[in-house]
């Protein structure tokens, strides 16, 4: 199926609009899109009428322009007929927001929709979903604009069976400055499923990282997904729920999915080089790191810090995640010592972590980073940058980024994320260096690069 009209519609019909209830999901969707996004919106209601001065069409077939996308938010029993009307009228695709299908045991109703769509080669997302956030084209989420947190346009495609989980992670991505190419809530995934979206985003020039929140698959579908994801030219990240028997029951009642054997699924993900985020705290830093670096690493981390305590914490966290923190050879230590300021030569530690102390200046961090960037025993550098050190400046992020550009060794920065230190953060992010807001998150970013091992 061709999904272009689904994600980049020029026209859309919102079916189910209410003339009496402004909070109806169809009204929220129509008002968010009408004159605010690129897709031209048309309201549809089987009783017709006028809404905010605009004609309300009785049927999609009455709309005087070819419709690329229909957003359907009506009672479940009415959806098959509306879907048939869309197919007959030449509509290009649909998002079915309505619930009350397989997740409620109404399998026959859902199967009828799927049979119609397959026969007509008609793509639709859902039912029981929020649908698509595809800036600047369309936003089918029935969440009022004032309650939405929208990440900047970016390079991550986020696909989720749960609309709530999707929106929650959009908030977190926005907070970390990670942009989205598209976000998709697939709900019951009656027709378009993870594999279809993996195919689409693998070839989408706007997407560089593909992240999934998965509750379950149909029988044997998980194997097909893993094989396809393992061969994807872009990093694929998976966060799986339903890991326990009780969690599996919750998954089934939520979206009619089969949770499956988690331990087997997790093992197979690793074998195929697919990045598994073990929990929600890993997913966001994994997305940020893999947007910046797609080359896998072996897992040997070099740490540079201005605080011995921060360095010790970073070592413990690295080792707890199975990452190595190799010792730096005596000659390499002497080389760093000779290049840093004379005032810290006798008080700094040049092993791993390289503790430059609170008296360090920009040049000291640059000297240490330059050395580790050329050390063959180090795969990735984590810089624990404390902006309150008196000797460093807001230029340091840009200067360290230049070292990455020259040497090509991945670098990850930790900077406390508060407004006062934004200039330090921007110095890295503007140059494609991921920035963590905690030491744990910085280590998660390094872990993402180690787990990404394409077949």
Residue 88 has pLDDT above 90, yes or no: yes
Give 176-211 pLDDT, tens digit per residue.
889 999 999 999 999 999 999 999 999 999 999 999
CATH of 1-125, one of 3.40.50.720, 3.30.1370.60, 2.40.110.10, 3.40.50.620: 3.40.50.720
- pLDDT score for 393: 94
Average pLDDT, the chain: 94
149-292, CATH topology level: Rossmann fold (3.40.50)
| pLDDT mean over 272-297 | 94
295-451, CATH topology level: Rossmann fold (3.40.50)
User: pLDDT above 90 covers what percent of the chain?
Assistant: 86
Indicate the pLDDT class of residue 419, thresholds 50, 70 and 90. Answer: confident
Residue 409 has pLDDT above 50, yes or no: yes
Residue 170 has pLDDT above 90, yes or no: yes
Residue 257 has pLDDT above 60, yes or no: no
**Three state DSSP letters for the chain:** CCCHHHHCCCEEEEECCCCCCCCCHHHHHHHHHCCCCCCEEEEECCCCEEECCEEEECCHHHCCCCCCEEEECCCHHHHHHHHHHHHHHCCCCEEECCCCCHHHCCHHHHHHHHHHHHHHCCCEECCCCCEEEECCCEECCCCCHHHCCCCCEEEEEEEECCHHHHHHHHHHHHHCCCCEEEEEECCCCCCCCHHHHHHHHHCCCCCCEEEEEECCECCCHHHHHHHHHHCCCCCEEEEECCCCHHHHHHHHHHHCCECCCHHHHHHHHHHCCCEEECCHHHHHHHHHHHHHCCCCCCCEEEEEECCHHHHHHHHHHHHHCCCECCCCCHHHHHHHHHHCCHHHCCCCECCCCEECCCCCCHHHHHHHHHHHHCCCCCCEEEEECCCCCCCCCCCHHHHHHHHHHHHCCCEEEECCCCHHHHHHHHHHHCCCCCEECCHHHHHHHHHHHHHCCCC
Residue 264 has pLDDT above 60, yes or no: yes
- pLDDT score for 190: 97
Residue ranges of the chain assigned to CATH 3.40.50.261: 149-292, 295-451
- pLDDT score for 31: 96
Residue 114 has pLDDT above 50, yes or no: yes
Give 290-339 pLDDT, tens digit per residue.
999 988 899 999 999 999 999 999 999 999 999 999 999 999 999 999 99
- pLDDT score for 97: 98
Give 247-256 pLDDT, tens digit per residue.
445 544 444 4
Choose the weakest-confidence range: 10-24, 219-233, 419-433. Answer: 419-433
């Amino acid at each position: 199926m061709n999904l272009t009209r689904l994600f980049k519609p020029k026209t859309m019909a919102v079916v189910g609009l209410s003339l009496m209830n402004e909070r109806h999901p169809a009204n929220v969707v129509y008002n968010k899109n009408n004159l605010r996004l690129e897709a031209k919106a048309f309201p549809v209601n089987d009783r017709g009428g006028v809404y905010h001065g605009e004609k309300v069409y009785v049927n999609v077939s009455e709309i005087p322009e070819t419709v690329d996308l229909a957003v359907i938010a009506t009672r479940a029993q009415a959806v098959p007929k509306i879907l048939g009307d869309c197919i007959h009228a030449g509509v290009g695709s649909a998002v079915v927001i309505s619930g009350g299908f397989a997740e409620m045991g109404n399998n026959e109703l859902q199967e009828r929709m799927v049979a119609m769509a397959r026969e007509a080669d008609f793509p639709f997302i859902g039912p029981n979903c929020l649908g698509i956030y595809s800036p600047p084209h369309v936003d089918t989420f029935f969440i009022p604009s004032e309650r939405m947190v929208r990440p900047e346009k970016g390079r991550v495609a986020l696909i989720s069976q749960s609309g709530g989980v999707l929106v929650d992670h959009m908030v977190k991505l926005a907070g970390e400055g990670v942009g989205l190419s598209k976000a998709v809530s697939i709900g019951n995934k009656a027709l378009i499923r993870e594999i279809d979206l993996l195919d689409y985003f693998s070839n989408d020039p706007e997407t560089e990282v593909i992240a999934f929140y998965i509750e379950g698959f149909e029988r044997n579908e998980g194997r097909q997904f893993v094989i396809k994801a393992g061969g994807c030219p872009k990093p694929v990240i998976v966060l799986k729920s339903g890991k326990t028997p009780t969690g599996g029951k919750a998954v089934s009642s939520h979206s009619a999915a089969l949770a499956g054997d988690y331990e087997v699924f997790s093992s197979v993900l690793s074998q195929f080089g697919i990045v598994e985020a073990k929990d929600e705290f890993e997913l966001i830093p994994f997305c940020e790191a893999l947007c910046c670096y797609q080359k896998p690493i072996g897992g040997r981390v070099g740490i540079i810090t201005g605080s011995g305590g921060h360095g010790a914490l970073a070592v413990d966290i690295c080792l707890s995640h199975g990452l190595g923190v190799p010792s730096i050879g005596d000659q390499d230590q002497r080389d760093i010592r000779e290049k840093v300021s004379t005032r810290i030569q006798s008080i700094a530690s040049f092993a791993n972590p390289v503790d430059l102390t609170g008296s360090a200046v920009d040049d000291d961090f640059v000297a240490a980073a330059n050395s580790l960037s050329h050390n063959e025993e180090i795969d990735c550098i984590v810089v624990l940058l404390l902006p309150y050190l008196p000797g460093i400046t807001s230029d340091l992020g840009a200067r360290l980024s230049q070292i990455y550009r020259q040497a090509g060794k991945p670098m990850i920065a930790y900077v406390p994320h508060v407004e006062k230190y934004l200039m330090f953060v921007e110095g890295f992010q503007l140059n494609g260096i991921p920035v963590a807001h905690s030491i744990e998150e910085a280590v998660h970013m390094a872990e993402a690069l180690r787990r990404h091992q394409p077949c």
